[in-house]
A and B are shown apart, each in its own frame.
Chain A
């Protein structure tokens, strides 16, 4: 008994020592605010450490999701009736990729599926290519006026009779059994929508491979953590499936944001429905292969995120608490973005005026910071690879790119994110998003991005 008491006493001493250290550290943080230099240092420290903190949180909850949910994902009883599904491909000038997209759907082993191609006033051979598949059951609708992606999807939603409504971008392909895997999650009556796992197909450049690593190691991880919290920040706009009845109940696609997928995800979850992630449903996407195209894509995502927070950010009365951790992340990200910008401004002021006000780190601190950041990103990617290797063999090839991820993140992602936030502040939500041509790969595949009606008219 005495040895138990001595262990308890030692542990108590150790905890109290830790608490004193923690209190001193917290007090040191407050001291930072006494001087301009101290405050500036605090800004720099927060800007550099916030992404690492989020990484720790995502890894922990991602791990919980894999252990508690992913291993027990439902497979419908073979004898049970499968729901009918309408797969809608919205397209505008997608002649380069639409055939591959339709072929991948026709190769699915899912009998109760109907494919709809919604051409939004395409000016190229999109409609002609799609019509070649009409004999195999593909329905082609050639809209003569421009509706935008959201508008084209809404036209389809008004017409379909199937139980489920799936959206597949025209430059996206379905992996084997992806449709069957997606539909499994609807055995839960509270699930309103399911999103699949995107993987980059055009691994022909270092930039594309870096994005492949990002989709697997960051976006896949975030979706797992979000799923554990009970929702998703957003379904993937390239491939997502919804219950048709639920989609109609929440009003379908409103087209009020440049990212219709994020807006619909929040609206659906605010209405009390759950969104789920299906890692077994793989979808091949084309990643941007130039810095400019990538920057435009990420700026659009960031703009959409801020627009949606402005439209749906009032969560004080929501009964879907799974939105709160996502909102907390978004608010913290907003603070982090402002602080990062302030740190950068202090650097510029120091360079131009010579005033000693910018955050500065000791060489050893900088080295430690770099080492820990790289270790965390590599650990995160290795974990993601462990989880994903069941579904995509060969994913380990992109792990070495995790070493360069901090550089890619600070040079490409962060500036695009900040510019997207400014664009969202400058634009009024409630406008219609139309298509815009964005070259993604050397093969000439085309993707869409948002453009306002007024811009289009101009």
Chain B
């Protein structure tokens, strides 16, 4: 149950990161707005991915350690 919740949050986070990147590109490319806010949006999206990847890796390593201890 907890694993399902964690995975759902991670998955939604990845999708949210994609949306941030997309809005950043949309602001600059389509609307022709200022570069800074669109760049920040892209950085926030990519940063969110980086944070989630680090979290996911840490959880995976923990799961492996637990599996090995059980063996």
A interface residues with partner B (beta carbon < 8 Å): 14-15, 17-19, 21-22, 25-26, 28-29, 45-46, 49-50, 52-53, 56-57, 60-61, 64, 190, 228-230, 272, 315-322, 324-325, 327-329, 331-332, 361, 364-365, 368-369, 372
Contact = CB atoms under 8 A, between A and B. Distances in A.
B26 A325 contact: no
B26 A322 contact: no
B30 interface: yes
Given A25-B23, A316-B7, A321 B33 contact: no
Contacts of A46: 22
B15 A45 contact: no
Contact of B60 (A14, A53, A319, A325): A319
Interface of B: 3-4, 7-8, 10-11, 14-15, 17-18, 21-23, 25-34, 36-38, 40-42, 45-46, 49-50, 52-53, 55-57, 59-60, 63-64, 67
Given A229-B57, A324-B56, 14 more contacts: A14-B36, A18-B40, A22-B37, A25-B38, A28-B31, A56-B46, A61-B53, A230-B60, A272-B67, A319-B63, A322-B57, A327-B11, A328-B11, A328-B18
Nearest to B56: A321
A322 B27 CA distance: 30
A317 B3 contact: yes
Nearest to B30: A45
B30 A365 contact: yes
Main secondary structure of the interface of B (DSSP, over half): helix
- List the 8 closest A-B pairs by CB distance, nearest first: A321-B56, A328-B14, A319-B63, A21-B37, A18-B37, A53-B21, A25-B27, A316-B4
A322 B7 CA distance: 11
B23 A322 contact: no
A232 B48 CA distance: 20
Contacts of A321: 7, 10, 55-57, 59-60
Main secondary structure of the interface of A (DSSP, over half): helix
B23 A29 contact: yes
Nearest to B55: A321
A319 B57 CA distance: 10
B7 A369 contact: no
Given A56-B21, A328-B15, A369 B56 contact: no
B44 to A, nearest CB: 9
Contact of B46 (A50, A57, A228, A316): A57
Given A49-B29, A230-B57, A272-B63, A324 B23 contact: no
B64 to A, nearest CB: 6
A60 B46 CA distance: 8
Given A21-B34, A319-B59, A368 B67 contact: no
A46 B30 CA distance: 10
Contact of B37 (A25, A45, A56): A25
A232 to B, nearest CB: 14
Contacts of A190: 64
A19 to B, nearest CB: 8
Nearest to A42: B26
Contacts of B40: 15, 18, 22
A125 B13 CA distance: 54
Most buried by A among B27, B32, B37, B57: B37
A70 B38 CA distance: 31
Contacts of A365: 29-30, 32
Contact of A324 (B11, B22, B34, B64): B11
B7 A49 contact: no
B63 A45 contact: no
A319 B18 contact: no
14 contacts: A18-B40, A21-B37, A28-B31, A56-B25, A57-B46, A61-B53, A229-B53, A229-B57, A230-B57, A315-B7, A316-B8, A320-B60, A325-B53, A368-B29
A289 B20 CA distance: 39
Given A229-B53, A316-B7, A272 B64 contact: yes
B41 A369 contact: no
A369 B29 contact: yes
B49 A22 contact: no
Contacts of B46: 56-57, 60
Contact of B56 (A26, A52, A322, A372): A322
Contacts of B38: 25
A49 to B, nearest CB: 5
A42 to B, nearest CB: 9
B27 A22 contact: yes
Given A319-B60, A324-B10, A22 B41 contact: yes
A22 B67 CA distance: 44
A332 B15 contact: yes
Contacts of A45: 26, 30
A364 B31 CA distance: 11
A243 to B, nearest CB: 15
